[in-house]
Amino acid sequence: MKQSPILIIGKNGKTGSRVNQRLQALGYATRPVSRSTQPAFDWNNPATWQSAIEGTQVAYVTYQPDLAVPGAASTIRAFVQIAAQAGVQHIVLLSGRGEQGAERAEAILKSSGLAWNIVRASWFSQNFSESFMLEGILAGELVLPAGDTVEPFIDADDIADVAVAALTEPGHRNRLFEVTGPRAMTFAQCVEEISGALGRPLKYTCVPIDAYMNALQEQGIPEDLQGLLHELFTVVFDGRNCHVMPGVEDVLGRPATDFKTYVQKTLQSGVWDAVIQREIVA
């Protein structure tokens, strides 16, 4: 029997792209989808869902922009119903720690009657290199409304490895894995580690949430992302997620990747080269 492709919703996302690469390297057929693929998949357009799902039995699901945003849980409910009707048997959902909206979405999947896994992740290390914090690093100053609260930042490569194991190894089914890095750090400590590795000065500045939101508005950041960041920094980022959790080791049998290792990998990728080059020119 020909293997049905594994559906990957979020083809270009930090974890979706990594999951796709790993599955293909292992010889699995995949169907990575996004708004720009054919068939297309758009969370805001349910009419696109059916054609993207048809013919698949297993799915890795990431929700954009985040399960914490209003309405995410009801969208996940509608998606799970359509997926089940189309023959999907197993869904692996990427979730976030300490988010009520994410917990509602998790509960919907758990009670769906499908085989399920939830990968509940801490903040990604890659936010410093592949997301909204990269601009600050390249500018030499990261400005955020986060003080001394610690977060066990996780490497997206670890999330992808855990997701692939959940997708391909039946023994993991119907389990929730809370995955974090091995060390809880403040944003200032993260910036200090990046600065030390680059050998160039980087600054971390903590600002009030109102000033941060005003700056986002002036920059033309989309409203849904503004709302998400406000939620994350005012509600979720209150210390509730400071604890290191063993999900990576539970699934993979190895420790989670340390932030220092992430920094070294990112240095080699060249994404921060502009910082070094700017300082040399100066």
Q: What spatial distance separates the first Cα and last Cα of the chain, rounded to whole Å?
A: 62
| Beta-carbon-side half-sphere exposure of residue 168 (alpha carbons within 13 Å) | 21
Tens-digit pLDDT profile for residues 266-278: 999 999 999 988 7
Residue 43 lies in a domain: yes
CA distance 211 to 143: 10
Residue 36 near residue 87 (C-beta atoms within 8 A): no
CA distance 64 to 45: 12
Short-list 30, 62, 65, 36, CA closest to 48: 36
Q: Which domain holds residue 39?
A: 6-123+154-181+243-257
Residue 134 lies in a domain: no
Residue 77 lies in a domain: yes
- pLDDT of 231 reads 85
- pLDDT of 209 reads 93
Residue 211 lies in a domain: no
- In the chain, the amino acid numbered 195 is S
Residue 271 lies in a domain: no
pTM over 0.75: yes
CA distance 72 to 61: 13
Determine the 3-state secondary structure of 95 from DSSP: strand
Short-list 102, 94, 27, CA closest to 72: 102
Tokens of 125: 């290390």
State the burial class of residue 94 (Cβ atoms within 10 Å of its Cβ: 0-12, 13-18, 19+).
buried
Number of domains in the chain: 1
Q: Residue 100 sits in a domain of what CATH number? A: 3.40.50.720
Residue 282 lies in a domain: no
State the burial class of residue 228 (Cβ atoms within 10 Å of its Cβ: 0-12, 13-18, 19+).
buried
Residue 273 lies in a domain: no
Residue 130 lies in a domain: no
Digitized pLDDT (tens) for each residue of the chain, 282 residues in all: 458 999 999 999 999 999 999 999 999 999 999 999 999 999 999 999 999 999 999 999 999 989 988 899 999 999 999 999 999 999 999 999 988 999 999 999 999 999 999 999 999 999 999 988 999 999 999 999 998 999 999 999 999 999 999 999 999 999 999 999 999 999 999 999 999 999 999 999 999 999 999 998 998 888 888 888 888 888 778 888 999 999 999 999 999 999 999 999 999 999 999 998 875 554
Number of alpha helices (DSSP H) and beta strands (DSSP E) in the chain = 12, 8
Site of tokens 């989808």: 33
